[in-house]
């Protein structure tokens, strides 16, 4: 019996964090720094910074297929292959279709990264803050429920995470996109600057700015302390960065948590469910299936942070059933899994520009220009709700001439003849969370760890279609006013999911009847469980969401620890 107690003691912690991606890494850092013995569970393999980036320093010719995935692999992975990141240099960080199946009630391209660091190794590193126009969206138009927080609640936490992560940007003074704690911005190209000027001449409510991004352009003492160096503008980020030039859990929060001596990291740990004790009216731990041996192990803790990424977090909560919660942890309202949402990335507009013929760009840059949302900001002015942001970039390509033979061919190939400037924009549209966009557990199919498969039923609606049309017409107009030519638009009609910004499923709100989490990301009906990844999102806004997850996580961890100290948890 004594031995059994010993093993229970060895499996008992102050806190458990499920997931080691962007938000899980922050939970690990914050809880361990505050002195909590913290177990971090990751379903995938371990990936250590520097050690486990096999392609990071490879040259193009060292890849067997020059970066492309062989046709056979593409056929085996139709979903992963639709993602821009699924290339020879980073495919080892992307989940393969057949290894982790799911059920598509409606088409949805679910892109995942199962390893320590999760998708923080693969993200596009865009870090725009939300404003009150975003947090107040549902209250203004009545779709979804009101957020239980406003910008002032999260602003200090944005500052807190920005300083640690290292965010490059300019103070732009735009009401819809609050300024942050920025390292120096990189330059826009001459055509991007020209477009910025023509837009500000022609419109008083539209702006073209340098996109804020999680790259260290001027290392501060805090970044040196993390062992990170300046971004080298290699733009090979998805391989894992040996310099730690961009923010990832692997380079930043996980090693920081490790350094405290308070973190136990357990990779290959597939979380089955959260254990709920009916007599104590609280969660007591987490049931884990060892990914390799399939052994079932239970770990115990006073508080649990669920950061498995939006859809997997929702799956775990739905699978955490008990007599008290037959339909999933904290799910008296029946809303768990409902109101899932995403970003609409379907549309693009491209063109050419004949000016600046004597100039081109030199080197690389990890980001581009950005056009913050300008639709329906101060009043409802279109036939759709909310709005969209846009990316914008410009560059030039070399024309290649392979005509002729011998000396002529050599001469033609060596001639540097630049083509015209190309310009391009892509749409980042806000979608409205709806009850009909939902996640559920499949009734019959299970994975190899005996966990029900996730059933995804998510689609575009009329609002999304109208927004695509408006984006195309507005960007075409802006391009025309700038004198761009050969303007073309494209609606890819891609299924939801390739934005890789899935949100919702366990949303925040003021009322337990209409939401799962309170203003501290704490479950209304199970106070010692916190959800701070994309599952918590009440609405989606137009900005890339990761920075908001980081800030919400740091804020929730601070609250959880102070409540523990008061004996409230």
What are the DSSP calls for 157-218, one per residue?
Answer: HHHHHHHHH--B-----BTTB-----BPPPPPPHHHHHHHHHHHHH-SS---EEPPBSB-SS
Q: Which residues contact 408 (CB under 8 A, 6 or more apart)?
A: none
* β-strand partners of 58: none
- Average pLDDT score over the chain: 96
| C-alpha to C-alpha distance for 23 and 26, rounded to whole angstroms | 5
Range name among 112-121, 180-189, 415-424 with the lowest pLDDT average: 415-424
pLDDT digits (tens, 9 = 90+) for 348-401: 999 999 999 999 998 899 999 999 999 999 999 999 999 999 999 999 988 888
Whole-model pTM above 0.85? Answer: yes
Torsion of CA 534, 537, 542, 544, to 10 degrees: -20
Domains of the chain: 1-168+248-342+431-458+500-569 (3.50.50.60), 173-211+345-430+460-495 (no CATH)
Query: Looking at the predicted structure, is the pLDDT value of residue 4 above 80?
Result: no
Query: Looking at the predicted structure, is the pLDDT value of residue 2 above 50?
Result: no
Q: Which residues contact 468 (CB under 8 A, 6 or more apart)?
A: 344, 346, 347, 427, 429, 491
CA angle at 88 for the pair 365 and 492, rounded to the nearest 5°: 70
Output the pLDDT for position 1.
43
Output the pLDDT for position 5.
74
Tokens at residue 110, please? Answer: 């679910």
Give yes or no for a contact between 349 and 371, defined as CB atoms under 8 angstroms apart. Answer: no
**DSSP readout, 363-380?**
S--S--EEE---SSSSS-
| C-alpha to C-alpha distance for 428 and 40, rounded to whole angstroms | 33
pLDDT above 70 covers a percentage of the chain that reads: 99
Output the pLDDT for position 316.
98
Tokens at residue 326, please? Answer: 């037959």
DSSP 8-state class, residue 66? T
Give yes or no for a contact between 215 and 126, defined as CB atoms under 8 angstroms apart. Answer: no
Output the pLDDT for position 63.
97
Tokens at residue 301, please? Answer: 């803790």
| C-alpha to C-alpha distance for 311 and 110, rounded to whole angstroms | 9
Query: Looking at the predicted structure, is the pLDDT value of residue 509 above 70?
Result: yes
Of 2, 1, 17, nearest to 302 (Cα)?
Answer: 17
Query: Looking at the predicted structure, is the pLDDT value of residue 166 above 60?
Result: yes
């Amino acid at each position: 019996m004594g031995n059994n107690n010993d093993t229970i003691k060895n499996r008992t912690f102050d806190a458990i964090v499920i997931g080691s991606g962007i938000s899980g890494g922050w939970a690990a850092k914050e809880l361990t720094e505050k002195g909590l013995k913290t177990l971090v569970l990751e379903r995938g393999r371990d990936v250590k910074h520097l050690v486990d980036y096999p392609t990071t320093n490879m040259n193009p010719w060292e890849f067997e297929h020059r970066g492309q995935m062989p046709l056979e692999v593409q056929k085996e992975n139709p979903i992963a292959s639709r993602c821009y990141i699924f290339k020879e240099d980073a495919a080892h960080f992307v989940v393969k279709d057949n290894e982790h199946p799911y059920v598509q009630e409606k088409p949805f391209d679910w892109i995942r990264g199962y390893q320590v660091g999760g998708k923080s190794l693969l993200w596009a590193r865009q870090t725009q803050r939300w404003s009150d126009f975003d947090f107040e969206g549902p209250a203004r138009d009545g779709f979804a429920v009101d957020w239980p927080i406003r910008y002032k609640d999260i602003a200090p936490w944005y500052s807190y995470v920005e300083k640690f992560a290292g965010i490059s940007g300019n103070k732009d003074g735009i009401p819809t996109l609050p300024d942050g704690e920025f390292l120096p911005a990189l330059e826009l190209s001459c055509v991007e600057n020209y477009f910025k000027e023509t837009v500000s001449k022609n419109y008083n409510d539209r702006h073209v700015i340098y996109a804020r991004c999680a790259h260290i352009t001027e290392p501060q003492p805090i970044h040196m302390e993390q062992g990170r160096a300046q971004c080298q503008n290699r733009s090979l980020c998805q391989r894992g960065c040996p310099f730690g030039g961009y923010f990832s859990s692997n380079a930043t929060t996980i090693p920081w948590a490790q350094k405290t001596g308070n973190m136990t990291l357990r990779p290959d740990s597939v979380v089955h469910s959260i254990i709920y004790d009916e007599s104590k009216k609280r969660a007591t731990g987490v049931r884990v299936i060892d990914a390799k041996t399939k052994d079932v192990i239970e770990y115990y803790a006073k508080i649990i942070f669920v950061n498995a990424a939006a859809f997997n977090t929702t799956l775990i909560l739905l699978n955490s059933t008990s007599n008290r919660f037959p339909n999933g942890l904290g799910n008296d309202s029946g809303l768990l899994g409902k109101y899932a949402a995403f970003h609409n990335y379907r549309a693009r507009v491209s063109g050419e520009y004949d000016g600046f013929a004597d100039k081109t760009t030199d080197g690389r840059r990890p980001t581009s220009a950005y056009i913050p949302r300008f639709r329906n900001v101060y009043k409802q002015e279109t036939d759709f709700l909310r709005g969209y942001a846009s990316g914008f970039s410009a560059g030039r390509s070399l024309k290649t001439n392979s005509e002729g033979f011998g000396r002529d061919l050599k001469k033609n190939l060596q001639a540097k003849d630049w083509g015209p400037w190309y310009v391009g924009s892509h749409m980042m549209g806000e979608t409205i969370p709806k009850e009909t966009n939902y996640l559920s557990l499949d009734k019959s199919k299970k994975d190899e760890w005996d966990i029900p498969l996730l059933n995804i039923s998510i689609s575009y609606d009329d609002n999304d279609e109208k927004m695509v049309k408006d984006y195309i017409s507005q960007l075409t107009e802006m391009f025309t006013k700038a004198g761009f030519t050969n303007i073309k638009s494209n609606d890819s009609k891609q299924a939801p999911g390739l934005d890789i910004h899935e949100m919702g499923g366990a949303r925040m709100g003021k009322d337990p009847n209409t939401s799962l989490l309170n203003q501290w990301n704490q479950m209304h009906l199970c106070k010692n469980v916190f959800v701070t990844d994309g599952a918590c999102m009440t609405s989606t806004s137009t900005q890339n969401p990761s920075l908001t997850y980081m800030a919400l996580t740091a804020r929730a961890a601070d609250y959880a620890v102070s409540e523990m100290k008061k004996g409230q948890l």
